[in-house]
Structure 1
Amino acid sequence: MAPPQGNIPANNGIRRGLRRRSLLTGAAAVGAAGALGATTGCARVDVTGAKSGGQLLDDLRSKGTVRMGIASEPPYASINDQGELTGEAPAVARTIFQRLGVKDFEPVPVEFGALVPGLLSFQFDVIVAGMFINKDRCQAVLFSDPDYESKDGFLVPKGNPDRLKSYKDVADRGLRMGTGVGYAEYDYAVGNGVKESKIQTYGDQIAGMEALQAGRIDCFAGTALTMIEALKTGAHPKVGMTDPFTPEVDGKPQRDGGGYGFRLGETEVRDAFNRELQKMKQSGELLRIAKPFGFTEEFMTDLTAEELCNK
């Protein structure tokens, strides 16, 4: 269990890296779903569920506290230098849970790869990390609708001398591209004709920026929001960024979005959360909350969890 708010070490031993699109893969997905099935006494759990499924919301209201599983990745969620929980996802989640009658929160920082196992083993009540919603993860996690839509961006030499706007540009110009281990940007690049021999993977965006500044690659691909956050450090003055864009493969836009994860079957709290989230979208409150963390109108979305789970 994490220490109470305000007494969390600033770094907490968590590696800061881009992991928005890394998949819950193979045995991990099967094992997680199997573990949940064992606890519920059934082999499969209906991810659509009845509208009144689960008792988590009642339990949270009774306790008055929600435990939020986070991975340290600004601007989505992180612990700042003062040991305080910050980021777009916690700011939105706190607002919604307070309106659902849950006043307090407890951050539980873990590695990104431990978020789904931690949720399923009841280490925390909800994943609050801007986690990308995809078909694999939806086999083990009940997602809220997304509260943001992701765009991609390239880190490039200052001034963008190769005039990059898309993965096709990288392929057409035979450029060397960097991205993170397990990132979907790798597949987007290959899907647009970039040769795998031209793609180098790095542990995070900072390592990518160092490779770019040293001339080992011509661009580094990742989610635009994290690229923006990386540039704020000011540690790589020769590095700039392209405008955010929606990647395409075979002419089809690859729209992605991130949301909040609950255990399968907990449809009551998920649906209540969605209702409040929808109100915030319609009123513009969601954008007002997200703006201080670098989110703009172009990152707001009308996508649903159902669309992304079936993508």
Structure 2
Amino acid sequence: MNNSRLSRRGFLRGASGATLGLAIGGGALVSGCTSINVAAGSEGGDLLQRLRDSGTVRMGFANERPFGFINSAGDLTGEAPEVGKEVFRRLGVDSFEPKLADFSSLIPGLKAGLFDVIAAGMYITPDRCAEIEFTNPDYNAPAALLLPKGNPKGLSDLDSIVRKRARIGVLTGSVEEGYAADSGIPRSRVVVFPDQSSGIDGVLAGRADCLMLTRLSLTSALQQRPGAQLEIGPSFIPVVKGEKQFGAGGFGFRKGETNIVRAFNRELTIMQERGEILKLTKPFGFSQDEMTRLTAADLCAGTAS
């Protein structure tokens, strides 16, 4: 399976301190590890009990705002880590060890046992579900386009990019790169950037007519660029070959660890019903619009609507 299509984002920037357990070179390291089956001999897996016994969970993340990153104080934070920390506390685990990885290395790293959970807001897709166990999503983020001020080409979604023969900017290894290809946009009009910052620079310099990411990512990125002559277009759900592509993210565990997934989902549902997910994620730009009750089962089966 093509690992570039397994990742929601394919970049790593801003690594710091002791969290460099999986640095940029770690992509090769992770992919070279032998996959292990830690759930062997225990139906449904024993990860939850082992985490309770140790008191610590190793959280894999990719340093992408607002989903999971290291803040100025050197602490792991963001949408997924903060939701994950609260769920794990309720499950009896109170200590959190950040494990930094390139996004495309998160699934191989999890399977190799380098961390216990992926806490990076990873989109739930059928391809990924074949590789790992997913919890239900805790958010569903619509996409948007970053555009030059005034939107001179009148772009609004993938269909408009196709019709107007525009150049779309995407991040390497991202689902947006796959969406562009599957929408029939010629490779010559797909401009691939290594990270958010270079993508923004590319639109500013006219190398691409737009940059496609989630609205959350674009809003967060533009906050670091005050005064930039750019704007964000309307939110939209990408439609590829007639099917909606939901940007719904959850937490990933190794195959077979269904016990902890069920326990995690139980606490997650309670938090959703009480509005606690929104309270935890609002500081990172999330709103009621991103709250969701989609299920991993439907997303994995491709039947979400």
Q: TM-score, normalised to structure 2's length?
A: 0.84
Q: Which range moves more in the overlay, 117-126 or 141-150?
A: 117-126
1:9 pairs with one of 17, 27, 33 = 17
State the distance in 2 between where 1:62 and 1:81 align: 31
Shift of 1:223: 2.1
Task: Work out whether residues 10 and 79 of structure 1, in 8 Å CA contact, stay in contact via their aligned partners in 2.
Answer: no
SS at 1:92's partner residue? Answer: helix
The 5-angstrom pairing of residues 248-263 of structure 1 reads: 248-263=239-254
Shift of 1:109: 1.5
Shift of 1:201: 1.1
* Cα deviation code 1:148-201 (max 9, x no counterpart): 113111110123233322111112222222112232223433444533322211
The 5-angstrom pairing of residues 185-224 of structure 1 reads: 185-224=176-215
The 5-angstrom pairing of residues 226-241 of structure 1 reads: 226-234=217-225, 237-241=228-232
Q: Which range moves more in the overlay, 166-175 or 87-96?
A: 166-175
Aligned residues: 281
1:56 pairs with one of 47, 50, 59 = 47
Shift of 1:62: 1.5
State the distance in 2 between where 1:124 and 1:138 align: 18
SS at 2:82's partner residue? Answer: helix
The 5-angstrom pairing of residues 73-112 of structure 1 reads: 73-112=64-103
Shift of 1:11: 8.4
State the distance in 2 between where 1:192 and 1:125 align: 35
Answering whether residue 130 of structure 2 is matched by residue 139 of structure 1, we say yes
* Cα deviation code 1:93-142 (max 9, x no counterpart): 11111111112211111222222222222222111111112222222211
Aligned to 1:277: 268
Shift of 1:36: 4.0
Question: What letter matches 2:294 in structure 1?
Answer: L
State the distance in 2 between where 1:37 and 1:68 align: 18
Aligned to 2:299: 308
Aligned to 1:45: none
State the distance in 1 between where 2:18 and 2:78 align: 14
State the distance in 2 between where 1:134 and 1:198 align: 26
Indicate how the Cα distance of structure 1 residues 225 and 275 shifts in structure 2: closer, same or farther if over 3 A, else same.
Answer: same
Aligned to 2:237: 246
Question: What letter matches 1:310 in structure 2?
Answer: A
Aligned to 1:183: 174
Unaligned runs of 5+ in 1: 1-7, 16-27, 42-49
Q: TM-score, normalised to structure 1's length?
A: 0.82
Aligned to 2:35: 35
Question: What letter matches 1:264 in structure 2?
Answer: K
Indicate how the Cα distance of structure 1 residues 87 and 162 shifts in structure 2: closer, same or farther if over 3 A, else same.
Answer: same
SS at 2:17's partner residue? Answer: coil
Question: What letter matches 1:35 in structure 2?
Answer: S
Shift of 1:240: 1.5
Aligned to 2:257: 266
State the distance in 1 between where 2:94 and 2:230 align: 43
Q: Which range moves more in the overlay, 75-84 or 164-173?
A: 164-173
Indicate how the Cα distance of structure 1 residues 178 and 90 shifts in structure 2: closer, same or farther if over 3 A, else same.
Answer: same
Unaligned runs of 5+ in 2: 1-15, 25-30
Q: Among the aligned pairs, what percent are the same residue?
A: 42
Indicate how the Cα distance of structure 1 residues 11 and 98 shifts in structure 2: closer, same or farther if over 3 A, else same.
Answer: closer
State the distance in 2 between where 1:124 and 1:11 align: 12
